[in-house]
Amino acid sequence: MIVIDRYIFRTVASATLVALLVLLLLESFLSLLVELEDVGKGNYDFLAAARYLLLVQPQRLYELFPMALLVGSLLGMGALASGSELIVMRAAGLSLARLTRSAMQAGLLLSLAVLVIGEFVAPPLEQSAREQRAMAKSEDMAIRGGRGFWARDGDYFVHVRGVLPGIRLADIHIFKIDSESRLETVTAAQSARYVEGRWRLEGIDRSILNGDSVQTERLNDLMVVSGISPQILDVLAANPDELSIRDLLVYVDYLERNGLDAQNYRLALWRKLLAPLTYLAMLVVAMPFVFGPQRSVGTGQRLLVGLLLGLAFFLANYLLGNIVLLYGYPPLAGAILPSSLFLGAGFYALRRLR
């Protein structure tokens, strides 16, 4: 049985990797067309665009893997069916459940590698790519990332810990440097909103340094003009789907401690944690199309079925997630429902084939 498991693993793995490569090339080509529209802004040239696309590939690999696994399992196991190899395996006494389990083992082994990339490799590279693109597009502003981000705006150095939806900032510190590179003022604000071309700081504590003395004052709000525009924030804003599980845990805790809505980030966190269930669902839902009319189905038809099923899953995942958030249901429900529905449908179809 170990020989058959290895054979099925090689078949499914090779087909999945080919499908993943094709999807990545297609996605990269479409993304390049979009990036070419921004080439020429500031210092953003073609090489910068190519570097950006290269750095975001691990994140795109993580996002496209479920569909690649679905298409790869259909093509790989379908090739065995077309060559009558599955018929020989079943004649030798292997059941549908046993063959499905071998395919699932192959998929889950690939999933482990993708999960490591999605947790440890993709998020920092994605963040670095966005920061480098922002720096290249902005000629007068230097930006660096970390927990939140740092920005230089003339004589001011700004640290923002949280960038929230709706053009909002949280936990801001502004340091003003005089002409002799000495610290002149330190301003701490709880939050900020973008209003009519200016930032409105709220909950302000400001310290003014004058020689050996420090003068402090408390302000309810303050309107300031800054080169940090909403377009820059859109680049640096924390996209829940691109954060690692560790960062999502930190961000959810930060939002909840400050009384802010964290449901969208909780949904992304549950989707990350339940990713193995998604991969399992992709494999199971593909098997009935393999063990059905084995010899009459061509590669093109299997490819079409895989793409349609993948699109149906992503659509269901998007719609159910938003519906759950809209009606205030637990984010766990929005994360688990699409995979559970596909998993249940796949097992039901397999049971009917017995």
Check residue 354 and give its pLDDT: 66
Check residue 292 and give its pLDDT: 66
Check residue 210 and give its pLDDT: 85
Q: pLDDT 10s digit of each residue in the chain, 354 long?
A: 578 889 999 999 999 999 999 999 999 999 999 999 989 888 899 999 999 999 999 999 999 999 999 999 989 988 888 888 888 888 888 888 888 889 998 888 999 999 999 999 998 898 888 878 877 876 555 555 555 788 778 888 999 988 776 678 889 999 999 888 889 999 999 999 998 889 999 999 999 998 788 999 999 999 998 877 776 765 556 678 888 898 888 878 877 876 778 898 899 999 999 999 999 999 999 888 888 654 456 777 877 888 889 899 999 999 999 899 999 999 999 999 999 999 999 999 888 876
Check residue 230 and give its pLDDT: 78
Q: Phi and psi at residue 308, in whole multiples of 5°?
A: -65, -40
Check residue 147 and give its pLDDT: 59
Torsion of CA 133, 134, 138, 140, to 10 degrees: -120
Check residue 281 and give its pLDDT: 93
* Domain residue ranges in the chain: 2-138+238-353, 142-227
258 CB burial (10 A radius; 0-12, 13-18, 19+): middle
Report the length, in residues, of the chain: 354
313 CB burial (10 A radius; 0-12, 13-18, 19+): buried
Q: Which residues pair with 149 in a beta bridge?
A: 145, 160
Separation CA 147–CA 250 (nearest Å): 10
Check residue 334 and give its pLDDT: 94
| Overall pTM > 0.75 | yes
Check residue 229 and give its pLDDT: 76
